[in-house]
Amino acid sequence: MLLPQWSIDRCRRKRGRKEEGTPLVVVESIAARQLVVAVDGAAAQGVRVGMTLAQARALCPAIEHAEHDPCGDARGLEGLGRWMIRFTPVVAAEFSGRAAGWLFLDVTGCERLYGGLRPLVEQVGEALARFRLGAARVALAPTAGAAWALAFAGGGAAWIVGDGEALSGVLAPLPVEALRIAPDQAGALRHLGVASVGQLLKLSRKSLHARFGAELLRRLDQALGRAPEPLVAIEPWAPVGATMEFEGVVAALEALWGVLRHLIGQLVADLARRGCGARRVDVEFRRPHAPAVRKSILLSRPSRDPENLFNLFRCALEEVQRAQEAKRQRTGRGRHRGRGVRVGASPADAIDTVLCPDGFTGVRVTVPVFERVSDEQIRLLDAAAHATAREFESLAERLRIRLGAAAVVRPELVESHVPERAWGAGEKLEDGGGRMESSEVGVQSSGEQSKIKNPKSKISSLPRPLHLLPVPTEIRVIVAPSEDREGRPVAVMHGGEVRPIAWAAGPERIAAQWWDARTRTRDYFAIEEAAGRRWWVFRVAETNRWYLHGVFE
């Protein structure tokens, strides 16, 4: 099965049906020049492979272009091959590196399941048409090389070759390019006047070997079945999962936890055999006469630690239980007022009665996404610190599952004079370990707020309160008389009474940021009332109003 325009087809599939009619080229950027790698639709206007994009635009103004992505193309081809495993277990995918790709399906012995070779080929063709791979050509032959040659030469139709004896007869009229040889070799052959395979077969093997090397003869022999061509088959994925069906309905929580532990043990054994760790785990509790309760857990790094996985499940199920409880409360208030739902019992009871009012009939745990995990090599003396860091990370993971990603924050200082902008939520917790060390080195980012490389430098020399109000509240302050409305605070209204200020430090002026129209110039004072409480207040210079911003607790 040959896909001569695989890059184009893949781009089209990605872009959807809307741009069906527009001409498309795939371009590759080489040293500031964009060279066309594959052409579709615009070929009629004279756009050829190897042109620059500017030339192509000049010929065909309406042209669309996409960046060449050989790795993505190869992956996509492998995905298509994986889909084709339904026809035969041996599927090999090869991508040329430019635009074309091909799949070999070894259907030996599989035709009986489809009622013969012809229906099988028809089904493959239908599948390709369904995937809108119209340019694909399918050919069937006793050898992989002959199939490729037929697909290359035959214009889109399914060709079927009967037996091996007639093979050289069928291949003889085909052009030499059909032998999967390098373009320069084919060009050299054509230069010598050798245009078809038949002409090539008449030449002596010795002279061909001397002139063109072993590659050409190998391809020729492979096409004719004289030399073997091993196919590297795509390895099928087997899903990782474990299921336990109960004989009856089970409602006891201890039993369920036990089952979950057992299933996780199975998963971990499977993952360890593959050398992988889970990135996403789905759990499904099957219930009688009700849809199953499903929950999926995303992990920030691949893990196959049974204790960690079990703890994550525990958190996730508490979350499910709370959601169900809320739902039940809502419906309970409406309809079953007298049913007496027990709310506010201990968590274990609540799971018993709310999550599984009738018990479960089965538990299924699957790992749809897993990744290779490598055991980290750590120094012996750092083992304790490493274990601490790992525990801490799994804690953050558990917290995020229940509270949401936004509720778990790693603070980081930001270079800004405006107090509330002097820190921000740091790096996302998703990326893996080594955070204890890496957190000290910020990344210089452009714009208003840039993180600071040296943590010592941006700690303000003036004291800041530990307790900063999320929103400053307006307060009334009595100010010492002065001519320019900028007197120092003398007394403050707090709790409905006037409190004299025993000590005040300031003002610390924080000017408005000229690029931000919302901030105003503030004069900060640290004030202490008679009992010793200290507040951080500021006066907005423009409006002369006072606000409480923090408490030195």
CB of 492 to another protein, least distance (A): 13
What would the DSSP string read from start to end of 288-332?
A: TTEEEEEEEEEEEEEE--HHHHHHHHHHHHHHHHHHHHHHHHHHH
Residues 264-293 that bind another protein (CB under 8 A): none
Q: Which two tokens stand for residue 339?
A: 């049913």
Stretch that binds another protein, among 42-50, 100-108, 288-296, 399-407 (CB under 8 A): 399-407
Work out whether 385 is an interface residue with another protein (CB under 8 A): yes
Q: Which two tokens stand for residue 416?
A: 């800004």
Q: Which residues contact 274 (CB under 8 A, 6 or more apart)?
A: 240, 370
Work out whether 436 is an interface residue with another protein (CB under 8 A): yes
CB of 32 to another protein, least distance (A): 41
Among residues 39, 35, 72, the alpha carbon closest in space to that of 54 is found at 35
- Do residues 344 and 329 touch, judged by C-beta distance below 8 A? no
Stretch that binds another protein, among 24-32, 107-115, 222-230, 398-406 (CB under 8 A): 398-406
From its phi and psi, is residue 180 left (phi > 0), alpha (psi between -120 and 50) or beta? left
Residues 465-484 that bind another protein (CB under 8 A): 465-470
Among 62, 409, 480, 511, binds another protein (CB under 8 A): 409
Work out whether 453 is an interface residue with another protein (CB under 8 A): no
CB of 400 to another protein, least distance (A): 10
Work out whether 443 is an interface residue with another protein (CB under 8 A): no
What is the rounded CA–CA span in Å between residue 235 and residue 258?
Answer: 34
Work out whether 497 is an interface residue with another protein (CB under 8 A): no
What is the rounded CA–CA span in Å between residue 505 and residue 48?
Answer: 76
Work out whether 250 is an interface residue with another protein (CB under 8 A): no
- Do residues 140 and 106 touch, judged by C-beta distance below 8 A? no
Work out whether 76 is an interface residue with another protein (CB under 8 A): no
Q: Which residues contact 278 (CB under 8 A, 6 or more apart)?
A: 240, 267, 271, 299, 302, 303, 304, 309, 367, 369, 370
What is the rounded CA–CA span in Å between residue 208 and residue 197?
Answer: 13
Among 69, 229, 412, 508, binds another protein (CB under 8 A): 412
Fill in the DSSP letter of residue 178: G
Work out whether 395 is an interface residue with another protein (CB under 8 A): yes
What is the rounded CA–CA span in Å between residue 499 and residue 69?
Answer: 71
CB of 491 to another protein, least distance (A): 16
What is the rounded CA–CA span in Å between residue 360 and residue 285?
Answer: 7
Residues 512-531 that bind another protein (CB under 8 A): 526, 528, 530-531
Neighbours of 370 (CB within 10 A): 24
Stretch that binds another protein, among 154-162, 361-369, 500-508, 512-520 (CB under 8 A): 500-508
Among 98, 464, 488, 520, binds another protein (CB under 8 A): 464
CB of 122 to another protein, least distance (A): 59
Work out whether 402 is an interface residue with another protein (CB under 8 A): yes
Mutual angle of helices 6-15 and 70-84, in 10-degree steps: 90
Work out whether 452 is an interface residue with another protein (CB under 8 A): no
* The one-letter amino acid at 138: V
How many amino acids of this chain bind another protein (CB under 8 A)?
Answer: 59
Among 408, 475, 512, 540, binds another protein (CB under 8 A): 408
Work out whether 440 is an interface residue with another protein (CB under 8 A): yes
CB of 21 to another protein, least distance (A): 51
What is the rounded CA–CA span in Å between residue 436 and residue 428?
Answer: 14
- Residue whose CB is less far from another protein, 251 or 469: 469
Among 331, 449, 460, 473, binds another protein (CB under 8 A): 460
Q: Is 120 helix (H, G, I), strand (E, B) or coil?
A: helix
Residues in contact with another protein by the rule CB under 8 A = 315, 318, 322, 384-385, 388-389, 391-392, 394-396, 398-399, 402-404, 406-413, 419, 422-423, 426, 435-436, 439-440, 455, 459-460, 463-470, 502-503, 505, 526, 528, 530-535, 550-553
